[in-house]
Amino acid sequence: MSAEDQQAEQIPSVWTRPRRQREQPALSREQIVSEAVRLLDADGIESLSMRKLGTRLGAGATSLYRHVANKDELIELVVDEVYGELDVPVSYDPAGWRPAVARSAHSLRSMALGHPWVASVLGQVGLAHLGPNLMRMSDRMLALFETAGFAPDEADQAMNTVIAYVIGTATSEAAYLSLLARSGQDERTWIESLRPATDEAMKDHPRLREGHSSRPDKDPRTIREENFEYGLQRVLDGLAARLVG
């Protein structure tokens, strides 16, 4: 048995088994995945069940199992579905790699914030990297780094470094925005309501107090975007330094 066969046997995945050819005319895998994304966006990962999804589709859970073997396979499919939203530009100019990668990173952040449940399932998506959308995105990003002058093995490391930064920051940001949504308040109002407690907590920490007070009237969303952009550019600075000489 080959190593690939052993891996497929050990890690069940929607991407490692043949797709069934006989499909129920009234329901397709694409319909199931689209409705699952809508359910997740509206109610979060805790709400996802085959029974609930079947009800939303006007079908029994048994009908869903004709197309998706279990909930784990469904999660693989919905993750790949939202990765299809990414904007990864093509660049054949070595000098254009950095803005192209930055655009890709911002697109990934937008996707993660638009679907805040994504970050919570990335550790349980099995062989999600085999999904067609994720494969396409990865291949196009690798092309950007190779065009820049990175060797193929380092291009993969560089790409993973950028993705790790984006997913890491977007995970915290998505959790914060979910908390904000549950409060029912807009971001500025919510922050203002916390100001007395924040000021009290910072009174013995002058460095934190100074940093916090330096941007009192700035739009919180602008601050979040500037913070993300700062970190992204410093990551790209480090990668660009690898190309010097």
Q: How far apart are CA 212 and CA 208, in angstroms?
A: 6
- Print burial letters for 134-168: b (CB count within 10 Å at least 16), e (below 16): beebbebbbbbbbbbebeeeebbebbeebbebbbe
Burial class (CB in 10 A: 0-12, 13-18, 19+), 210: exposed
The listed CATH number (1.10.3720.10, 2.60.120.260, 1.10.10.60, 1.10.40.30) that belongs to domain 3-83: 1.10.10.60
Q: What stretches in the chain show pLDDT beneath 50?
A: 8, 23-24
pLDDT of residue 217: 72
Give the start-to-end residue ranges of the domains of the chain: 3-83, 94-243
Q: What percent of the chain has pLDDT over 70?
A: 87
Of 74, 62, 84, nearest in space to 31 by CA: 74
Write the pLDDT tens digit of every residue in 35-83.
999 999 999 888 899 999 999 998 877 788 888 888 888 999 999 999 9
Q: How far apart are CA 168 and CA 183, in angstroms?
A: 24
Write the pLDDT tens digit of every residue in 121-130.
876 666 667 7
Tokens in use for 203? 């009174």
User: Domain 94-243 belongs to what architecture?
Assistant: Orthogonal Bundle (1.10)
DSSP symbols for 145-209: HHHHT--HHHHHHHHHHHHHHHHHHHHHHHHHHHHHHHHTS-HHHHHHHHHHHHHHHHTT-HHHH
